[in-house]
A and B are shown apart, each in its own frame.
Chain A
Amino acid sequence: MDRREFLKRAALTGIGISLPGLGTVIHQLEASEKIDLVVARGDSPSKITNAAVEAMGGIRRFISRGDVVVIKPNMGWDRLPEQAANTNPEVVATMVRLCFEAGAKKIKVFDRPVNDPRRCYVQSGIANAVKALGAELEYMDERKFRDMSIKGEALKSWPLYTEVLEADKVINIPIAKHHSLAKLTLAMKNWMGVMGGSRRQIHQKLDESLADLGLVIKPTLTVLDAVRILTANGPQGGDLKDVKKTDTVIVGIDQVAVDSFGATLFGMKGSDLGYVRAGDKMGLGTMDLSKLKIKRITA
């Protein structure tokens, strides 16, 4: 702590003591910091997203004035919102709006889709939703992938998208879906969307690779969209019978915890998912839900 920092803190403490009102605010902030996960349920995707972020301590806890923010939804498939293969556009739009309210200078939204990027961006409904708010929705530029040292168990290095690593803040907004190899794709697997190169090879050691990505990509906040979840024929679905409406979003900082909770929506436990186990073991986060402070709200 340098001298300037010391003076600042001393002054703040002084104000805190002299003004009882502000003291309780600070107290509340400290309490909210201890909440690990917020699970919000309700009919309106934007309302529950707003409420969940608020319960996590508010957007200003995460985004500062002038930040360059990367928002990474899952828009990997040429599917419509009701088919639950891509992140709910309302949830994404709500996060964009919140970040701008907190003073974000620039918000970039992108994904490296499996299907044609133009169709994925448009058909997912995300292009329309976020462009209207002034976020930058650009197609990924092949030149901006750079080989990054990961030093993980499965991935020693891999080309990753530099804009994610250079951003001031990164928000992960995945959707909860079935996946035949990973069992489920939730927050940790969403980072495959910023991998360059021949990422299809990572399926040979999928769980370890996904955990390894957590060594280099550390999102500020994760918002798991479970407004609609895809229970079979994932990760792209297509049959509305496989879609279940759960009207939920889960917000947290720890991706392992978010994914561990996400598994419960499908009647599984976090420990059923190999990458959650691997992430827990590597110390990336906490898989054991009983050790977490989970706040449930309805909005």
Chain B
Amino acid sequence: MFKKPQLLVALDILCLVTFPAAVVLILFFTPVEAVMGPVQKVFYFHMSAAWVGMLSFIIAAVAGGAYLVTRRIKWDWLSIAAIEVGLVFAVIAILSGMIWARPIWNTWWVWDPRLTTTAIMVMIYFAYFILRSGLNTPETQARLGAVYAILAVATVPLTFFSIRLFRTIHPVVIATGGGGSAFNMSPRMLNALFVSLFVFTLLLADLVWHRFRLAQLQQDADQEVY
């Protein structure tokens, strides 16, 4: 039998309750930004998606390292799961950012350092699956996949710090030193941001766990066949 753990069921329910609650909170109980208007509300999920996407790629690299050390296939499943789910969130971050940029920057896309590094990061992680599909044995896929996940994680700090290292039009949300925040966020806006960050982190855990179980199922089915 392949029974769903009770903790995963609880996490599913928690996500099903908190995600719609976060949407309602943002759409109906968060103030409209004075200049940008309602489109600024995309920011809460845009930033949360970017955050969990990057977190997911870091988890994949850690799992890759753990696989290389222990050679336990479970770490490879975690790496695959984290990269796949991370890619979904990274694509959400890019597309929601483009939709936000159109009325504010008057263009869907600019080759700004943040946007460019994010696009490179997403393409590098898409290539992870191309690499795996080109390899024959599960052991080679796991070993080279782990090495690739560790090398590819270099794009995460590059993307994160690009707005601090280069001149850019992308706002700095988490200001450091004397930088100052581009958003003059009211406490209610800040609360909405923390709620969406929390909800997206829960969603990441839930989706990665489900994708991990799928990898386990696929492996079981393959072993039964051969």
Chains A and B bind each other: no
B binding-site residues for A, Cβ under 8 Å: none
A binding-site residues for B, Cβ under 8 Å: none
